Structure formats: structure tokens, C-alpha cells
């Protein structure tokens, strides 16, 4: 993947939601800083995993990239064009190449439309097919994602959760996209179905040359499917690395805490493994902490962390970390060592059991 070119470049992306007050004269009183200055690339043909706690801004990032939300600030460059600066007509034409698989397979499908209408709607919107050609394409997509094409006239309530998510995947594939945001596509599914959907996504990627942004909070799933992994905390990116480097050599204290929380099915190893327990609650995005947003929960924070926001820096080739510990050799030693083999065993075991 290191030789691949960036398909998507995100620069300084911010998504702030204003809060208004007043019955007759509305005025802005605060802003929810859901995403606060993300910069990263998504390479062509790769799967970039985006992980973090609930409410850290993962889904908002995906929606802002696709312009489902209008970003407050920043650039989203897709094939040389800044999507944030396109007019409505041009952006509409680009949407064929940028699609999304939503988290909830129950809420994301219109219960009044048949499966054929749901999957075929993008073809109608973009005027790519009609009549028999449209029906043929819909049935072809149903076969590709593992659904019986004879069910084309059924409604979403007649399908299970896993089948509904396959319908959502087929809809995302309709216009032959290049980039798909997978917004926690397995979190609402049974464990037995999750592995099937992940394997389907991998097969589709190989067959059609797709590029994914895979959003999840399940570290085992992200380890299984991602080429590179980005870790978010309170609207900021704290670490970005290949999957192997992230789990072998996690550097940021927050990343280490996340990985240490993954249970290991071997009771002997689990009993001897040291957990990193974070104290306190995640601060509100309405009023994020000054300096490093993680300093209120970081066991290694000092005065600099409270005053200065760390920037993503390359700690080793392809491994980026936003932490002041990298600039302080004496303090870096405060981080406990990480057993890479134990870490991989912890994360891989969950996938194997599925």
C-alpha cells in the first residue's frame, strides 16, 4: 500500500455544529466541535480503519467527507477536486463515485420501497439505467452480495438484519463507486453475521478495486479488515499507522489504553496482562480541554499538555502520533512497554472466534 497514490486527501477538516438560543431573535451561544482539524490521506485501494470511543466524531467525519454535512472548514480533495468548493450540480455528478453504507440496516432502508426500488434508486437519480436494464442491474447486484434475485419485489421488513445490510451494500455498489464510507456496518448485527459481512466487503474490494473508510469501535474487526488504522479522540486524530505497527507498537497513551481493554480468551495470559484504566469521563465537545484534548485523562500528562496542542508527527516511517512524549526523551520512558505478541493475540482471537 505504500506505493499507492492518495485517492482522497483531507486537510484541516472541521465540523462544528452551532447551538442557538432565543425564541424570537436566535443567536449562536456555543458550538459542538465534533471534528476539529483532521488531516490525513486515504490511499487508492486500501481500507483505512477509523476507531475511537462513541461520540469522538468518527461518523461525523465520514459524513463530512461525503458532503452529507457541509464542513465548517477544511478541504476534501477527491481526484484533484475539492468537494467543499463544488457547486450543487457538479457535486451531484461526483456522488456516483462516493457512497456510504450506513450503521443501522433497519433505519437506513425505506420501509415503503421494495428491495428493487431501493437498490435501483441511484440508477434513476443519476439517469444511468431504466426499464429492463435497471431491473437486470438490480438483480445482478443482489446476486453479488448474496441475496436471491427473486426477492426483488419484497420489502425490507421481510429480511433479517444481515440481509438488510447486504441490501445497503448493494445500493452503495449500484453506480460503481470508487470510495465507500462504511459507517459501523457490523455494529448492529449478531456476532455470527459480522464476519460474513466483513468477508463480503473484502471480496467486493478485491473484485471491484474499492477504497474503504471503515468506521468502527470494535478493534478486532478493524484489525481484521484494515490496511492502516487511525485513532480518534474528541474530534482529533491521535495516531495513524499500519495495522501491524498499530497493534505491535501502539505509541499514544490513548491507543494503548484502547488495545489493553481488548479481552484475551486465554485466562492465564489475561490474568497476567496489565490493563491501562483511564480515569474520568470524556470531556464535552461543547467545551473541549485546552492543549491536548486527552490530557484530562492521560496518566502521563504534564504542564505542556495543558497549554499546547500536539501535532501529528512521524515517529517512524508511516507511523504518525500526536503526543508531546515524543519530544521529551526523558518522559517517553514513562510509557509502559507493550507486548506486541500479546496484543496481536488479544485482537486476533476475537476475530477467530467469530
Question: Percentage of the chain surpassing pLDDT 70?
Answer: 92
CA count, 13 A, side-chain hemisphere, 143: 8
How far apart CA 221 and CA 335 sit, in angstroms, is: 26
pLDDT band at 178; cut points 50, 70, 90: very high
**What does the mean pLDDT of the chain come to?**
89
Residues 227 and 47 sit within 8 Å (Cβ to Cβ):
yes
pLDDT at 354: 47
Q: Tell whether the model's pLDDT for residue 335 goes beyond 80.
A: no
pLDDT at 329: 64
pLDDT at 343: 52
pLDDT at 325: 87
Give the residue among 216, 158, 227 at the shortest CA–CA distance from 188: 216
pLDDT at 351: 47
For the stretch 95-150, pLDDT in tens is 999 999 998 888 999 999 999 999 999 999 999 999 999 999 999 999 999 999 99
Buried b (16+ CB within 10 A) or exposed e, 72-104: bebebbbeeeebbebeeeebeeebbebbbbbbb
How far apart CA 219 and CA 180 sit, in angstroms, is: 20
For the stretch 9-22, pLDDT in tens is 999 999 999 999 98
For the stretch 66-102, pLDDT in tens is 999 999 999 999 999 999 999 999 999 999 999 999 9
Average pLDDT (291-303) is: 91
pLDDT at 1: 47
Sign of CA dihedral 163, 168, 173, 177: negative
Q: Which of these CATH numbers, 3.40.50.2300, 3.20.20.140, 3.40.50.1820, 3.40.50.300, describes 6-353?
A: 3.40.50.300
Give the residue among 8, 57, 5 at the shortest CA–CA distance from 177: 8
Please classify residue 272 by burial: count the beta carbons closer than 10 Å to its beta carbon, then call 0-12 exposed, 13-18 middle and 19+ buried.
exposed
Amino acid at each position: 500500500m505504500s506505493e499507492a497514490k492518495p485517492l482522497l486527501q483531507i486537510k484541516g477538516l472541521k465540523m462544528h455544529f452551532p447551538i442557538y438560543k432565543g425564541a424570537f431573535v436566535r443567536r449562536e451561544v456555543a458550538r459542538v466541535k465534533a471534528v476539529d482539524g483532521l488531516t490525513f490521506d486515504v490511499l487508492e485501494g486500501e481500507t483505512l480503519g477509523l476507531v475511537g470511543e462513541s461520540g469522538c466524531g468518527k461518523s461525523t467525519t465520514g459524513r463530512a467527507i461525503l458532503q452529507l454535512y457541509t464542513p465548517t472548514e477544511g478541504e476534501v480533495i477527491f481526484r484533484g477536486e475539492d468537494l467543499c468548493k463544488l457547486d450543487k450540480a457538479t457535486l451531484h455528478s461526483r456522488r456516483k463515485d462516493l457512497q456510504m453504507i450506513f450503521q443501522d440496516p433497519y433505519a437506513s432502508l425505506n420501509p415503503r420501497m421494495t428491495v428493487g426500488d431501493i437498490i435501483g434508486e441511484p440508477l434513476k437519480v443519476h439517469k444511468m439505467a431504466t426499464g429492463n436494464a435497471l431491473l437486470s442491474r438490480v438483480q445482478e447486484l443482489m446476486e453479488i452480495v448474496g441475496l436471491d434475485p427473486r426477492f426483488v419485489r419484497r420489502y425490507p421488513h421481510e429480511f433479517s438484519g444481515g440481509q438488510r445490510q447486504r441490501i445497503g451494500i448493494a445500493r452503495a455498489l449500484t453506480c460503481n463507486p470508487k470510495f465507500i464510507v462504511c459507517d459501523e456496518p457490523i455494529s448492529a448485527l449478531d456476532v455470527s453475521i459480522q464476519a460474513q459481512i466483513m468477508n463480503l466487503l473484502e471480496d467486493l474490494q478485491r473484485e471491484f478495486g474499492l477504497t474503504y473508510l471503515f468506521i468502527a469501535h470494535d478493534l478486532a474487526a478493524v484489525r481484521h479488515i484494515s490496511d492502516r488504522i487511525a485513532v480518534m479522540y474528541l474530534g482529533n486524530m491521535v495516531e495513524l499507522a499500519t495495522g501491524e505497527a498499530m497493534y505491535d507498537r501502539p505509541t499514544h497513551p490513548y491507543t494503548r489504553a484502547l488495545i489493553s481493554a481488548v479481552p484475551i480468551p486465554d485466562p492465564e495470559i489475561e490474568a497476567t496482562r496489565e490493563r491501562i484504566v483511564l480515569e474520568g469521563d470524556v470531556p464535552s465537545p461543547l467545551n473541549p480541554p485546552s492543549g491536548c484534548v486527552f490530557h484530562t485523562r492521560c496518566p502521563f500528562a504534564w504542564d505542556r499538555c495543558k497549554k499546547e496542542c500536539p501535532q501529528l508527527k512521524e515517529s517512524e516511517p508511516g507511523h504518525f502520533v500526536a503526543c508531546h512524549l515524543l519530544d521529551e526523551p526523558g518522559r517517553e520512558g514513562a510509557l509502559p512497554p507493550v507486548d506486541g505478541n500479546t496484543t496481536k493475540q488479544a485482537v486476533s482471537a476475537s476475530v477467530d472466534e467469530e
